[in-house]
Amino acid sequence: MNLQRDLPLHLADGEGVRMVVETPRGSGIKYAYDHETGTFVWSRPLIGGMTYPFDFGFLPQTVAGDGDALDAMLLTDTPSHPGIVVPARVVGALRVEQLREGQPAKRNDRIMLMPINEHRSAHVGDVSVLPARVREELEEFFLASLRLTGKTIEFRGWANAEEASDIVSAAFAAFA
């Protein structure tokens, strides 16, 4: 099974989406799913001493503005492993424009998710309830994670849960 093409995005009950974890919380290395081999590969190290603050991965059966699957971050305190599929609910998005020298800017939003079965965070229905400091730290993480790669990003603000769901729907339609 190809996790990007064959795994359904939407849960059977229609109450959430699936996220495929590429890079677990606490990792100093970015992993990436290789669509050709169906494996997770070592992509690149982060800057020394830096680690992922939450699990990072993608939403299957989506195509984002950069041509890849839609990026997603799972806002949970517990790390998982590459390849884990997490049933989750969309709580927001960080709107991102990615720039690479000599190329046109591309949208590369980060969808923010909460695991459906994590009851401690059941009250979080929208990123707006997260402390401003958490959102600021996520922005700083994404800026720092791309340093020395030749890519830069600019933020276009935070989308609430409803707007983020629209981003997911558009990326799902682009896949189809």
> Does pLDDT of 91 surpass 90?
yes
Position 123 scores a pLDDT of 82
Asked if pLDDT for residue 64 goes beyond 90, the answer is yes
| Residue 145 host element (H or E) | helix 132-145
Measured distance CA(24)–CA(2) in Å, rounded: 20
The answer to whether position 7 is within a domain reads no
Residue 87 resides in a domain: yes
pLDDT of 15-38, one tens digit each? Answer: 899 999 999 999 999 999 998 999
Cα(45)–Cα(55) distance, rounded to whole angstroms? 16
Classify residue 70: in a domain, yes or no: yes
Q: Pick the residue with more confidence: 111 or 125?
A: 111
Residue 117's domain comprises 17-175
> Cβ–Cβ contacts within 10 Å for residue 171, how many?
23
Structural domains counted in the chain: 1
* CATH label of the domain that carries residue 58: 3.90.80.10
Residue 1 maps to a domain: no
Tokens 């190809």 belong to 2
Judge whether 10 lies within some domain.
no
pLDDT single digits (tens) 140-175: 999 999 887 778 889 999 999 999 999 999 999 999
35: Cβ contacts below 8 Å, ≥ 6 apart: 2, 4, 5
Is 3 in a helix, a strand, or coil?
A: coil
Half-sphere exposure of 51 toward its Cβ, with a 13 Å CA cutoff? 9
Residue count (the chain): 176
